[in-house]
Amino acid sequence: MYRIGQGYDVHRLVEGRELWLCGEKIDFELGLLGHSDADVAIHALCDAILGALALGDIGKHFPDSDPRYKGIDSKKLLYHVCRLMREKGYELGNCDLTICAERPKLRPHIDTMRQTLAEVINTSVDNISVKATTTERLGFTGRMEGISAYAVALLRKS
Ligand code: MG
């Protein structure tokens, strides 16, 4: 009836890249490095959903050696993962994301992020939680070398 999954992802913060988090472009002097748009939060969410379905991970479905995924909008990856979920007969119950970033301040973006994810997943915004935290300047996120994200997702048989 129910299946649960968790996901975790990290991308490096560099100059000369756009910063995309939860499908939103955030105005900031650094961006995340990756083969796709490097939306670390969406990647963690995709892995949580794939994990709940025991369908492997995002790297298996969208290999970073595949030129089709170069620079791709991660919302498209999430959309595809949700299609797999529905093909398996499940729908999202709820999900909860935590983004670890020293800067920028993400609070002003949280509600738009939730709205964007809800639209891609085709679910109610009440089912989407996005939280942000710093790591008190500790570790690689604290030193602003990267941003990490955690996600859990509960799926329900539809
Ligand atoms: Mg990733």
> d(Cα 148, Cα 25) in Å, to the nearest integer?
17
Residue 63: other Cβ atoms inside 10 A = 11
Residue 123 Cα to ligand 1 middle (Å): 23
Mean pLDDT of 84-110: 98
Confidence of residue 112 (pLDDT cuts 50, 70, 90): very high
Residue 69 Cα to ligand 1 middle (Å): 12
Q: Is the confidence at residue 31, as pLDDT, over 90?
A: yes
Asked if the bond preceding 108 is cis, omega within 30° of 0, the reply is no
What per-residue confidence (pLDDT) applies to 143? 98
Mean pLDDT of 66-93: 96
What per-residue confidence (pLDDT) applies to 29? 97
Structure-block tokens of residue 9: 């992802």
DSSP one-letter code for 54: T
What per-residue confidence (pLDDT) applies to 64? 87
Q: Is the confidence at residue 11, as pLDDT, over 90?
A: yes
Residue 47 Cα to ligand 1 middle (Å): 9
Residue 10 Cα to ligand 1 middle (Å): 6
